[in-house]
Amino acid sequence: MDFEPTIIAFVCNWCTYTAADLAGTSRLIYPANIRLIRVMCTGMVDPKYVIKAFLEGADAVLVSGCHPGDCHYINGNYKARRRIKLLKEILPQFGFEPERLKLTWIGASDGIRFADTITEMVSEIRALGPSQVRGKMVL
């Protein structure tokens, strides 16, 4: 059976979520492997949200928000970038490949970019294979 990854995406309300909406209304096609979680700003994504997603078996996690300078809460995306940097230092020490965690900036008008990013990420994770956590008792 072919492996279909599950990707959890934390997207900010003002930019990437709007882009996802636009991708939908523009009838762009992208793989259905992504589970969007809308947050007000990437600056509210505590590392523990990402950790929880991985421990529950997510094959990858995407955090995506406004471009630098465009965050509706001024600097939430800069704070998010530090937290992703932090997680990229921690998670690989326990065997999570760095590619499984991604940070992107996708603006509200970037529906095409959103669809492309998801498509690309799904094929990358499909090639990488399932997360080590799948089906294991990790609590």
Partner 1 sequence: MATTAKINVKHQDFLASLQAFFKSVLQQNDIGALLVPQHLPMKDVVMPTIVTDPEALDAADPLAPTFPLNAATLLSRLTRKPLETTIAAVLRPCEIRAFIELVKLKQGRTENLIIIGTDCLGAYPNNDYARVVEKEGSETTRKFYQNVLSGKNPPLEGFQVARACQACEHPVPEGADIVIELFGVDTEHEMFLEARTPAGEKLLAALNLPSAKEPDQRKKAIQTVVNERITYRDQMFDETRKRTETIEKLTRYLAGCVNCYNCRVACPVCYCRECVFVTDVFDHEPSQYLRWADRKKSIKLPTDTIFYHLTRLSHISTACVGCGQCTNACPNNIPVMELFRMVAHKTQQAFDYEPGRSLEEPPPLSVFKETEFPDLTGETEQLNH
Residue 135 binds which one of ligand FES, partner 1, none, with CB within 5 to 8 A depending on kind?
partner 1
- Work out whether 103 is an interface residue with partner 1 (CB under 8 A): yes
Of residues 30-49, those binding partner 1 (CB under 8 A): 47-48
Residue 95 binds which one of ligand FES, partner 1, none, with CB within 5 to 8 A depending on kind?
partner 1
Are residues 62 and 12 in contact, defined by beta-carbon separation less than 8 angstroms? no
- State the amino acid at position 50 in one-letter form: V
Cα–Cα dist 121/79, whole Å? 23
Minimum gap (Å) between residue 63 Cβ and partner 1: 10
Residue 65 binds which one of partner 1, ligand FES, none, with CB within 5 to 8 A depending on kind?
ligand FES
Ramachandran assignment for 79, one of left (phi > 0), alpha (psi -120 to 50 degrees), beta (any other) = alpha
Which residues neighbour 4 within 8 Å (Cβ) at sequence distance 6 or greater? 33, 126
Minimum gap (Å) between residue 25 Cβ and partner 1: 26
- Work out whether 49 is an interface residue with ligand FES (CB under 6 A): no
Looking at 7, 8, 9, 12, which residue binds ligand FES (CB under 6 A)? Answer: 12
The count of C-alpha atoms lying within 13 angstroms of the C-alpha of 81, restricted to the half-sphere facing its C-beta, is 11
Maximum C-alpha span of the chain: 46
Q: Where along the sequence are the contacts to ligand FES (CB under 6 A)?
A: 12, 14-15, 41-43, 65-66, 71-73, 76-77
